[in-house]
């Protein structure tokens, strides 16, 4: 394609491929769909450290997530200190795996930043998902520990991490090289997908044949 570099061509197919192309290194990476389909919540991690450039990539992935009104309200606390990681199970009932993992990321929103948007929980959720998919693409496992909207959990993290009054913690992501293998689980549910109107079954094959003239 004239005028189009390998990097810009690859950006149409996989953001993770772009990273590999740009860096030109041998960092393990997988394509976007494989990362999506084989990401699983991991609850067992090795103590193998995660290097700084990998952590940077996770954060770049977080900042790359869509945001309502393009508001830049997301804030992240990178937790690598062993003592801090060991306190996480006291703050969250699912955070026991943090005792083995070398890294967790606390995803927060600074609600004082303009433009303010009511969509901040979703903005933080998609950033959380981007971290987890980037992690999977680089061979790291992850576990989403939900905080917002549970008030008691929010309070525990606000206090433990000295969050300012305008900052709300939304999720904690525990990260590390997993003890378990990644695997695909086909969760597609025919009964949860409708065609053009609630109640009418969607059948991908038939849709292809009749998509031109479907009466509502």
Ligand X SMILES: Cc1cc2nc3c(=O)[nH]c(=O)nc-3n(C[C@H](O)[C@H](O)[C@H](O)COP(=O)(O)O)c2cc1C
Interaction between residue 11 and ligand X (CB under 6 A): no
Stretch that binds ligand X, among 80-88, 98-106, 137-145, 198-206 (CB under 6 A): 137-145
Say if residues 76 and 62 touch (Cβ distance below 8 Å).
yes
At closest approach, how far in Å is the CB of 156 from ligand X? 13
What is the footprint of ligand X within residues 159-188 (CB under 6 A)?
Answer: none
d(CA 198, CA 171): 32
At closest approach, how far in Å is the CB of 19 from ligand X? 23
Q: What is the CA radius of gyration of the chain?
A: 20
Q: Print the binding letters for residues 25-44 with ligand X: x by CB under 6 A, - otherwise.
A: ---------------xx---
Give the 3-state secondary structure of residue 130: helix
Residues with Cβ within 8 Å of residue 183, at least 6 apart in sequence:
38, 40
Interaction between residue 119 and ligand X (CB under 6 A): no
Q: Print the binding letters for residues 86-115 with ligand X: x by CB under 6 A, - otherwise.
A: --------x---------------------
Evaluated on CA atoms 144, 148, 152, 154, the torsion sign reads: positive
Interaction between residue 146 and ligand X (CB under 6 A): yes
Cα separations in angstroms, 84 against 15, 54, 140: 32, 20, 20
Residue ranges in contact with ligand X by CB under 6 A: 40-41, 94, 143-146
């Amino acid at each position: 394609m004239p005028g189009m570099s390998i990097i810009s061509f690859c950006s149409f197919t996989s953001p993770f491929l772009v990273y590999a192309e740009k860096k030109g290194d041998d960092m393990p990476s997988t394509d976007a769909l494989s990362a999506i389909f084989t990401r699983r919540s991991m609850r067992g991690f090795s103590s193998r450290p995660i290097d700084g450039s990998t952590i940077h990539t996770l954060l770049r992935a977080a900042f790359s997530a869509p945001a309502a009104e393009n508001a830049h309200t997301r804030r992240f606390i990178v937790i690598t200190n062993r003592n801090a990681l060991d306190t996480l199970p006291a703050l969250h009932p699912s955070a026991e795996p943090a005792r083995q993992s070398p890294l967790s990321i606390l995803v927060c929103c600074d609600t004082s930043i303009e433009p303010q948007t009511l969509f901040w929980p979703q903005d933080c959720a998609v950033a959380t998902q981007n971290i987890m998919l980037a992690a999977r693409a680089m061979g790291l496992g992850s576990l989403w520990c939900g905080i917002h909207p549970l008030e008691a959990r929010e309070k525990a993290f606000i206090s433990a991490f000295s969050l300012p009054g305008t900052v709300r913690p939304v999720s904690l992501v525990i990260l590390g090289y997993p003890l378990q293998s990644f695997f695909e689980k086909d969760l597609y549910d025919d009964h949860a997908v409708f065609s053009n109107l609630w109640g009418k079954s969607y059948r991908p094959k038939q849709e292809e044949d009749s998509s031109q003239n479907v009466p509502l």
